[in-house]
Amino acid sequence: MKSKLLLDLLENECELENILFRLKTILFSLENDEIIKWIDSEIEGYKEGDGVPEYRKVMLTPHISATDGVWSLNKAIASIGHLDKKELNAVLYHNITDSINSLSYDEKDTCISYNSFLTHRLGEGYSRKLLVTQAYGAMPLGTCSKIKSCVKNRLLSIILELEKKYGALNDYDIFLDISDTEKTEIGKTIINITMGNNNRITGSNFGVTKNEEN
C-alpha cells in the first residue's frame, strides 16, 4: 500500500510546497540540517550566498539594444568575445533562487537585466562607440517548468527510497526509534538525491570545493 503523500505527489493533488512541508515533518527527526536546509530553501527561496543545486542554474543568451545615432542594434545577440572569465560567467549564467511556489515567469518574458557595469562592457564589444539602451540575458523557455519537474522527481525518489525501507509514510514518527548510524546513512542517501555529488548548499559537509563553486 502506497502512502497518501506519494499518491498526492503522483496525482498532482497538492502543490509541491505542501509535499515539502509534509516531508519536512517526516524527515525532521533525522536531525540532518542539510536536508532541512534544502527543503526550507525550496519553500522560502534560496538566500544570497547560498549554493544552489545544478537544476537551478541556467545558461542565458545575452542580448543588447544599442545605437550610435546612425547604426543600431535591436535586441540582438550580444558580442561577448572581449569579456574576461568573470564577466562571461556573470553574463552567461544565472541562479534561480525563487521559492518553488513563486516560479511562474511568463515564458515569453524570461529575461534577466544586467547591471550597469555589464551593460557598459557589452557595449564595448563593437568597433563603433555605442550607447546601450538595453542589455539582458534571456532564459531558455520552460525554465520554471523544468525546475519544478526536477524538484518533483527528487521528492518522488526520496519517498520511494523511504517506502522501500520503511513502508508507507503515513506515520510521521518513523525515524524516532532507529539508530544514529542508520539516520546518518539515510541522510547521506537523501542528500545525494537532492543535491547530487557535485552540489552543496551553504553549511553542507557534502559536495564541491570552494574553487568549484566560483
pLDDT tens digits, 65-78: 999 999 999 999 99
Show me where the domains of the chain are located: 54-143
For residue 105, is pLDDT > 70? no
| CA angle 198–200–206, rounded 5-degree value | 80
Above 50 in pLDDT, residue 32? yes
* pLDDT tens digits along 39-48: 999 999 999 8
Of residues 103 and 175, more confidence is placed in 103
Residue ranges in 97-208 assigned as alpha helix (H): 116-123, 143-166, 180-194
Average pLDDT, whole number, for the chain?
Answer: 87
What would the grid cell of residue 146 be? 523544468
- The backbone torsions φ and ψ at residue 64, rounded to the nearest 5 degrees and listed phi first, read -145, 140
pLDDT value at 126 more than 90: yes
